[in-house]
Chains A and B, each alone.
Chain A
Amino acid sequence: GQQLNQSPQSMFIQEGEDVSMNCTSSSIFNTWLWYKQDPGEGPVLLIALYKAGELTSNGRLTAQFGITRKDSFLNISASIPSDVGIYFCAGQLTDSGAGSYQLTFGKGTKLSVIP
């Protein structure tokens, strides 16, 4: 099946620093999603991307849909302690007929913010 390579696996940063993480795939997607999961909770949708090259922001978060449709990155600017959590990317091929619901998830990037 499809696999997503998400990196880095974990990162420790100082409060106020910017953060960047990315996902790459061996096959194309036409939707990229970024989720954040806090301990004891389910993933929360942060940003959805629908078009190659699209750059979308949600507050301090910015995500881009790669031109090749095989990658996406998420940037967090001026990190704060509540940014701590696990960030997941997910790709979806929404026009593939019977499989269009299938989300392929990365393994996550665990972010720790040092105050």
Chain B
Amino acid sequence: ETGVTQTPRHLVMGMTNKKSLKCEQHLGHNAMYWYKQSAKKPLELMFVYSLEERVENNSVPSRFSPECPNSSHLFLHLHTLQPEDSALYLCASSDRVNQPQHFGDGTRLSIL
């Protein structure tokens, strides 16, 4: 139990579908992150939220849309994804943005 829960654990979707990934942290942290993990590549930071405000969008395509309704919850809304978007999407949280990050177990996303 990491304190960061991601759902669903696995998701298969077509390129025209709309789906959302959910992350919930039970650690009382104030910062939350989305990462993409692809085979043979370092983890790629996608979005950062601090106190529910987005502080970074690392040139992520608009087909990925984050939402942070409160400091415990983070969503990643997906729309018209491409096959190259298939990857493990990891959520992380930290007490503040410059503190060590704690990760969830990820959502394995497959785009058909």
Question: Contact: A101 with B97, CB < 8 Å?
Answer: yes
Instruction: Give the chain B neighbours of A43 by CB distance below 8 A.
Output: 43, 90, 103
The interface bits of chain B over 47-64 (1 if a CB of A lies within 8 angstroms of the residue's CB, else 0) are 010100001100000000
Say whether, besides A88-B43, A101-B33, A103-B45, A42 and B103 are in contact (CB < 8 Å): yes
Interface size class of B (residues with CB under 8 A): 20 to 34
Instruction: Give the chain A neighbours of B103 by CB distance below 8 A.
Output: 35, 42-44
Instruction: Give the chain A neighbours of B50 by CB distance below 8 A.
Output: 101
Write the nearest CB–CB distance from A19 to chain B, whole angstroms.
Answer: 21
Instruction: Give the chain A neighbours of B97 by CB distance below 8 A.
Output: 100-101
Q: Check if B31 is an interface residue, CB within 8 A of chain A.
A: yes
Question: Contact: A101 with B56, CB < 8 Å?
Answer: yes
Question: Contact: B90 with A101, CB < 8 Å?
Answer: no
Residues of A that sit less than 8 Å from B by CB: 4, 31, 33, 35, 40-45, 48, 88, 92, 94-95, 98, 100-108
